[in-house]
């Protein structure tokens, strides 16, 4: 709403408050409630602006906004009861139905968000797939779940479309393995409590590992006897990047093509997100160098011929 219209509404409400105080014949309680409702309505907008200026967190802004609306609703219902109880009991059922219909999706998202946060289906930083969207979970709140896809685009999905739907979780917990103490190190421990604490640490400590599965189809003209060697050359290059050597398995062979499953593993899913495209590109260049560079040479040749033709036309 434009500021001039908002200012006009505020001016009308102030005039109404003055008329109610000095000219109306209502009881003092009704007058006070009308003035309080007008004051709460007027300060809602400035209070939201001040909260947004003080803090950038939307959760705090939402808490302030909900609190003000609840206070306003209490005074509004109180005014209706004092003004006319019959009117109050006639209006409230319609208000309840209207609010439930308008906020049906919001309530559904909030309930689904609460269930997601309490069930630990996935956490922030996990690589998941839901609603045919793959990416890393960047935010989970009561209204929506934010996912960053492989191309960097952030998708906001309502929680009602996440909870109860099929979700593939590529990130999973893995127990961390500690090297046991040697006999000499054990003897140096004067108190067995220290060793018991270490055993408890071994049993409770765990790390997260992400295993992303990518299906790719290869041309049947590729010699399968060299497939393992060619892929391993790429895997060894990316092992220091991912922290774990990638792996593959042959899925099916059909219609002159071979479909394989690539297993890209890392303790940090963001690394997979950043390097998956280059990883697949290097596999493509390794498996089909002749086809790629042949087309590249033809492309460069066509560019050179086009350039010579333009130079000839200019002369």
Does residue 137 share a domain with residue 81? no
pLDDT in tens, 197-212: 665 655 555 677 888 9
CATH number where 128 lies: 2.30.30.60
Lowest mean pLDDT among 5-19, 90-104, 184-198, 282-296: 184-198
Does residue 249 share a domain with residue 205? yes
In a domain, 55, yes or no: yes
CATH number where 217 lies: 3.30.70.100
> Measuring CA to CA, how many Å separate 83 from each of 73, 96, 139?
15, 20, 46
Does residue 126 share a domain with residue 94? no
Residues 126 and 137 sit within 8 Å (Cβ to Cβ)? yes
pLDDT at residue number 208: 78
Residue 279: pLDDT above 80?
yes
In a domain, 218, yes or no: yes
pLDDT in tens, 130-178: 888 889 998 888 788 899 988 888 899 988 888 878 888 888 876 555 5
In a domain, 113, yes or no: no
In a domain, 165, yes or no: yes
3-class SS shares of the chain: helix, strand, coil, % to 5: 60, 20, 20
Tell me whether strands 257-266 and 247-254 are parallel, antiparallel or unpaired. antiparallel
In a domain, 112, yes or no: no
136: number of Cβ within 10 Å: 23
Question: Stretch 168-191: mean pLDDT, rounded?
Answer: 62
**pLDDT-based confidence at residue 102 (cuts at 50, 70, 90):** low
Cα–Cα distance, 228 to 221 (Å, whole number): 15
pLDDT at residue number 8: 81
Does residue 81 share a domain with residue 52? yes
User: Which residue is it, tokens 């500021």?
Assistant: 3
Question: Stretch 9-25: mean pLDDT, rounded?
Answer: 82
Bridge partners for 219 per DSSP: 257
* Token pair recorded at residue 206: 């765990």
Mean confidence (pLDDT) of the chain: 78
Cα–Cα distance, 38 to 17 (Å, whole number): 7
pLDDT at residue number 185: 57
Does residue 286 share a domain with residue 198? yes
pLDDT at residue number 15: 85
**pLDDT-based confidence at residue 241 (cuts at 50, 70, 90):** very high
In a domain, 299, yes or no: no
The model's pTM is 0.56
In a domain, 176, yes or no: no
User: What is the percent of the chain where pLDDT is above 90?
Assistant: 6
What is the total count of domains within the chain? 3
Burial class for 313, CB neighbours closer than 10 Å (0-12, 13-18, 19+): exposed
Does residue 64 share a domain with residue 135? no
Cα–Cα distance, 125 to 95 (Å, whole number): 41
pLDDT at residue number 235: 92
pLDDT at residue number 227: 82
pLDDT in tens, 110-122: 788 888 878 778 8
pLDDT in tens, 29-80: 888 888 888 888 888 778 878 887 787 776 677 777 778 878 877 877 787 7
Q: What SS3 class is residue 138?
A: strand
Cα–Cα distance, 194 to 188 (Å, whole number): 11
Does residue 222 share a domain with residue 270? yes
Q: Which of 102, 137, 160 is the last residue of a domain?
A: 102
Residue 250: domain span: 183-293
In a domain, 298, yes or no: no
Residue 292: pLDDT above 80?
no
Does residue 127 share a domain with residue 96? no
pLDDT at residue number 238: 92
Does residue 158 share a domain with residue 205? no
φ, ψ for residue 164 (rounded to 5)? 90, -10
């Amino acid at each position: 709403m434009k500021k001039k219209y908002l200012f006009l509404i505020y001016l009308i409400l102030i005039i109404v408050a003055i008329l109610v105080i000095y000219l109306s014949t209502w009881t003092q309680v009704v007058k006070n409630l009308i003035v309080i409702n007008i004051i709460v309505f007027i300060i809602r907008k400035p209070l939201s602006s001040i909260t947004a200026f003080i803090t950038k967190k939307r959760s705090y802004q939402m808490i302030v906004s909900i609190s003000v609306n609840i206070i306003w609703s209490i005074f509004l219902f109180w005014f209706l009861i004092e003004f006319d109880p019959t009117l109050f009991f006639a209006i409230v059922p319609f208000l309840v139905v209207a609010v439930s219909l308008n906020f049906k999706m919001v309530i559904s998202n909030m309930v689904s968000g609460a269930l997601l946060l309490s069930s630990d289906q996935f956490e922030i930083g996990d690589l998941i797939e839901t609603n045919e969207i793959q990416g890393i979970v960047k935010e989970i709140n009561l209204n929506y779940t934010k996912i960053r896809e492989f191309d960097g685009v952030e998708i906001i999905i309502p929680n009602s479309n996440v909870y109860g739907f099929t979700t593939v979780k590529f990130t999973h917990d893995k127990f961390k393995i500690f090297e046991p103490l040697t006999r000499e190190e054990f003897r140096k421990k004067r108190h067995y409590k220290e060793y018991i604490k270490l055993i408890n640490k071994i049993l409770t400590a765990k790390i997260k590992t992400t295993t992303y599965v990518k299906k790719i189809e290869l041309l049947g003209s590729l010699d399968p006897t060299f497939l393992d060697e060619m892929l391993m050359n790429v895997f060894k290059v990316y092992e220091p990047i991912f922290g774990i050597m990638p792996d593959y398995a042959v899925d099916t062979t059909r219609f002159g093509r071979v479909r394989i499953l690539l297993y890209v593993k890392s303790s940090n899913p963001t690394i997979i997100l950043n390097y998956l495209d280059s990883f697949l590109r290097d596999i493509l260049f390794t498996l089909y160098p002749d086809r790629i560079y042949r087309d590249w040479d033809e492309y460069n040749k066509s560019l050179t011929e086009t350039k010579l033709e333009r130079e000839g036309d200019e002369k």
